[in-house]
Structure 1
């Protein structure tokens, strides 16, 4: 788990740094840095399961927002080939950016869920 969390921490810090030139860096940078911070703590052996739950709720709410209200990501999932997402870093169409944002949020949710499960297992072992 330590190597997993170190890698995820580095990826999330890099993702936050890439948001610097985005339209809304003040939203995305903290979202990625929160995930990086939790992975950093987990790599050091500190699991904050309540913080994971909070992150999962917040990230999931953003996913629902993008899928229900913006619908660009939902449109891509239904109609567009995957190569359009990675063809270039420039998002020429709004659904490309929205889909990338949803996928980033899904990765954050998955990593926090993995750490949340690890935290629960660790607490059970320590309470025995």
Structure 2
């Protein structure tokens, strides 16, 4: 949860914070609710699918890394955004497994 709040804060300097801050805050809230065991597994499964589809759709046609400056090519920013969504998807899979364990 704290990692996603940090991700959201870092996005405040991004050219499109109105997209990425809510995305990362949503992941943080879902992680917090998993910690409190307040949601059902299907919510995390749905979030996993949505984040996963977003990561797939944002993946650049040609991967050029993530370490170069964003001014070099838009593909670098796309790769970073895609990997961020992939991290969100993996966290949702973990939350799903936690709910599975607690409700079994």
Q: TM-score, normalised by structure 2?
A: 0.84
Q: Is the 8 A contact 1:38 1:48 kept in 2?
A: no
Picking from 22, 31, 37, the partner of 2:14 is: 22
Q: Residue 75 of structure 1 aligns to a residue in which SS?
A: coil
Q: Are positions 1:75 and 2:67 aligned together?
A: no
Mean Cα deviation higher: 97-106 or 18-27:
18-27
Q: Return the offset for 1:52.
A: 1.0
Q: Are positions 1:109 and 2:86 aligned together?
A: no
CA RMSD of aligned residues (A): 1.8
Q: Return the offset for 1:39.
A: 1.3
Q: TM-score, normalised by structure 1?
A: 0.70
Q: Are positions 1:86 and 2:73 aligned together?
A: no
**Distance (Å, rounded) in 2 between the aligned partners of 1:55 and 1:24:** 21
Q: How many residues align?
A: 103
Greater helix percent: which structure?
1
Provide structure 2 residue ranges, at least 5 long, that are not aligned to the other structure: none
- Structure number with larger C-alpha Rg: 1
Q: Is the 8 A contact 1:47 1:115 kept in 2?
A: no
